[in-house]
Structures are given as structure tokens and as C-alpha cells.
Structure 1
Amino acid sequence: MTGPEDSTPPGWTPADGGPPVPPPPHDPVPHDPPPYHPPPRYPPVGAPNPAPQMPYYPPPGQPTPFPAAPGPYGPGVPSAAMGYGMNPYGTPPPRRSRLKWVLLAVGVIIALIGAIVVAAAVLTRDTITRIDDVSVGSCITVTGEKNDATPKKTSCDAQSFSFIVAQKTDSEFSVCGDPLDAQLTQDDRGKLCLVPNLRTGKCYVFPTANGSIVDFAEISCATASPNAGNLAIKVVDRIESASVNVCTQGTPLQFTRPTPLTYCASLLTPQ
């Protein structure tokens, strides 16, 4: 039976009644919680804005830090690594200007128009639209129809058939000075009196009373066969004079304007 003296209080050893031994710890010693620090703000309040960090690009001739992956601008220019198609030195690729093409097209059109104008000027520069466009002593050719003739300037030294302007009158009803002159009238403008510009050794057709100035023509002497109503001649000689009996052979065809001129001609008959 045990009494109060045999009981062992909690925290004491029953061996020899020595000093008390504290009980083993069961929970860690509590500590105060760590102080609360709010997350930093960027940029910190009151601090200046940091300067933007530019990417590093090596100077020309130095190796690039980026992989030499092929890009749209050639090997060593990795547009995917650089982003937005930039080259290693930060310069954007050149952009083609549509305005350049527009200006080029406009220039071509202007050049074509200029060429057409020049060609038209060359083709029409010899066309005579008024009697005042020619001077006495110059030469012209006449083509077209009887009532719609087209006179053009030409050289008096040309071997092709032409007329020498002998006289200009103010009225279409004026009379030419030489009866053998061909006549070219322009309504309400006046009249040109013309001398046939013939060459020695060649053959020509002259219109008769019912003919027209456009009926004058050069023909082949070997196969000369004038049409009915026309006169065919061969020029035997050309003399710069209008004197009487100047021709030693053939029939004289004489003109006094613009300078004295005589053709000695033989008549060709139809074959």
C-alpha cells in the first residue's frame, strides 16, 4: 500500500530523490512573424525613369553575336533573331517607292507624246496651207485630186518632178504672166502661177485644156503612151533664156518668170 510519501510528483525522478528535471520540450519556442515588406514598384517612387537599353551591335567587320541563320536579306542577317526584318546594324531594309514607278510611267508617256508631236511636225512641216507659206522662186509638188490638191514644199534641185513658183496673186481670178503657166488657186486667198521644173532627157505628160494641175507627171520615155486628152513630151534641152530661136531642135516652151527659161521639147505620139 502506498502512501503519500511514496508518490512521485510529475517531473521528479524516483531513483534517489535528486533535483527536479524539467520536462522535455514538446513545441518550438514561438517567434514573432517577419515584418511585411511590400513588393518594389518600377520605377521606384521618386526615382528617374531608367534610360532604355539599346541592343548591342558589333562594329562593321566584327562577328555578330547572333546566329548566322539565313534570312530574307541574305546569309548572316537573321531577320527572325533581330525581329521585324532589321539587319544586324539596326537599319530597316529599304522600301521600294511606288512614286518612282509612277514618275517613270509619266516620263515614258511624255516622251511618247513628244515623239508623236515631233513626227507630226516633220510630216507636216512642208505642207502648204496658205499661199503666203511659199515664196516666188521656191519649188513645190502638187498631189491629190482635181478639186482637192495638196501642195508641199520641196527642193528645186530634186530630180523628181516639181513646180517653180513664178508668181503669186491676191485674187484667184488674176491672170498669170506667162500663158504656159500652170495655176493653183486657193479660195479667197489668191493664186500661184507655176512653171514645170523639167530635166533634160526626161519625158513628161502635160494636161490639155480640160486637164488639171495634178495631171502633170513624169513618165518613162521607152514606154510613153499618153492618155487621150494629154500631151507627152521629151525634153531635149533646157536653156536659161527666153530669147527667140534659142532652140536648135524641138519646139520651144518658154517662160519669163521668175527667171527666163526655155525648154526645147519633142512631141511624143501614142504608140
Structure 2
Amino acid sequence: MPPTVRHLPSLALVHNTPPFPWLIEFFHPRRSRLRATLLCLVSLLILTTYVCLISSPVLSPGHLLNPYSSKHHNLADTWRKLAAKVPAPPATQWRPDVSLTPEQELGALTAFMVALPQNVIPTDIDPDQPIDPQLVLDFDTRVPEAEEEIADIVLDVWIKNPVVVFSKLRSAVSRELKSILQTMDLKPPPTIFDVDERVDADVLTPLLFRLTNSTELPILLIGGTAVGSIDRIRELNADGKLKEWVIGAGAVPGSTKKPRKGHR
């Protein structure tokens, strides 16, 4: 009788196969990232397809602009109600440019010329018409304080320049007037503009004639008032009234300073 062969259990390591090997493979870190990316792409594709093919009639511009659409009508009503609750901003009160009187125009013009040597009158204006205030004033004349600003400018220019002369450099009469004022030795000294030396002489001369009712140069202003012709100036000087007028305007005789030249 053949001997019985017994099979002893093998001592080799036995690899146990997991029950769900595909599940472990699915959750493998590297492969899971790839699958997550793929799922995102598929989801995005599905969403795009839905928006473009399924919901396009709802989101189309024609639907939003359709006045008969109930949603559009409700949205418009909502906006109108909200707008009605918002208080309207206060209306801006715009004022027209002020109109200068001849006295104000003369003061503003003199202040403009005294301020800077570069300040010249545009040659394309009509000297027979009132000058645009914006040409000689450095602020917006439409503001409510415009009248006060103009009054301050005119007052200031005559206080600082009580004696102003618009003359000709090459004129015997102008030299005579300058000599009369020089003998008074005024402080502050007269402000002198040699009009014929300026680039705007052609428009400035008739403009000064209109504002001072003069017909020729030189023109003498004392406290912003035109004295008159050279004959009247001679008479006033001979009577001593010219010096009294000058003193009343704020100039003081007896100074050692020479006459101040205006900007050309």
C-alpha cells in the first residue's frame, strides 16, 4: 500500500488580492488628479452646452430688450421706483458773464496791463465794443462773487497806481506831461505806458479813447479818472489844483524816486 503523501502548507509569502482593486487604482493620488481635471473639463463642457443651446432664448439680447417680457417689465419698474427715491442733485445756478461799465473796464484793463509785461490785448478784438471780461480778469465772472471781485480789483489798481499815464515815447506833448509829473516827485511814482511801443498799440489806442472819451495821447488818469486834454492839464498845474488832485488820489509829493515805467 503506497504511503500517504501529506501536503504541508507552503511557507512562502502569499499576496492577498484586495477585493476591489479598481477602487484603489481610482483613488491613487496621481491618477485621481488626472481624473479630477477630466471631470472639471467635462462639467465645463456640459455647462457651456446648456447655456449656448438650451438657455440661449432666455439670455438672448432680444429677450432682454423685449418690452413685452414680464421680467424686463418688472426690472424696469423696480429701477424706476429706486430712482424715484433717490433725491435729485441740486441744480447748478449758472450766471451769465458780468457786463463791465466803462469805469470798471478801464480799471480792469489797467490792472491787466500792470500785472505782467506779457499781458497784451488780442489784436483781433473790436475796440469799439465792450471788451470780454475774461480777457482781462483772472477769475470766472459767472460766480456770484464776481461783482465784489471786480470792485476789489478796480479799487486796488487805483490805490496802488494813483497816477497813470498812457503816452507816446516819441511825442513832445507826452514829454511835457512826464516833466510836469516828474517835478512833483510823487510817491508812488506815476505808472507810465508808452502805448506806441507796445505790440497791441493798434487796438489799445482806440480802446483807451473809447473808455476815457479822449481823442489823442497822452492820457492822464488820476485815481482812475481821465483829467482831459493837455491844455486842461496845464491849467490845473498852473493853479496848483493838479497837485491837490494827485494828493487826493493817494500820491505823496516830495519823494526822491523817479517815475516808474509801465510795461511795454
With structure 2 as the length reference, what TM-score do the two structures score? 0.22
Bigger proportion of residues as strand: 1
Higher relative contact order (CA 8 A, sep 6+): 2
Structure with greater helix percent: 2
